[in-house]
Amino acid sequence: MNKTLPVLFAFVVMLAVPPQSGSAFSLQGGDLNDEQFGPVVRAYLGYLRSEQEVTDDRVSRHEVSRSYYRRNSNRIRALRQMAIRIARESRNDYLPELEAVARDELGLLFERPPRTNQLKEGEVYHNTFRYLGSVQSAELFYLFARLDPYEQAELMEKGGDSQAPVAGESSEGVKGASRSRRVHPDN
């Protein structure tokens, strides 16, 4: 079998994906501007490039559907945009664990997903995820940062319940329905 056929197919697919915010080409072949970031952020951006290469390879071998390919490529692009935004705004070589989900995937993160029209940037949901915002990458993705165990423990220690309202409940209904337990080290 001709080895150039999968490479040619991947190239045609890359050209078929419309550029989003000028980052489509940088996502595929590396970005000279990655040098402006520290080693942690550059490593994460490199990881995303590798994920895109794997996705390209899988579609060229017909291992995944076109819809899977489009969604995964758009998700990778959304994660890249958010990672760059965080790195630029914080001027820090640190990124939290990022999650990007479409509206129909919120159930993957939350047993009882919050309403998308009530998500507020910076708000913590279910003591686990901080909502960072949405990114339009051919489709809309909601981006969350997973809180590290120390942040989660601190929230529970404060006794504040940072579970945002879920569909069909008022914020007071949620607070009364589940309260964080205080854990004392001497127990």
Residue range 131-144, pLDDT digits in tens:
999 999 899 999 99
- Reported as half-sphere exposure (CB side, CA atoms, 13 A), residue 13 has a value of 23
Residue pLDDT, tens place only, 103-126: 999 999 999 999 999 999 999 998
Alpha-carbon gap, residue 37 to 184, rounded angstroms: 41
* Type of residue found at 9: F
pLDDT of residue 151: 86
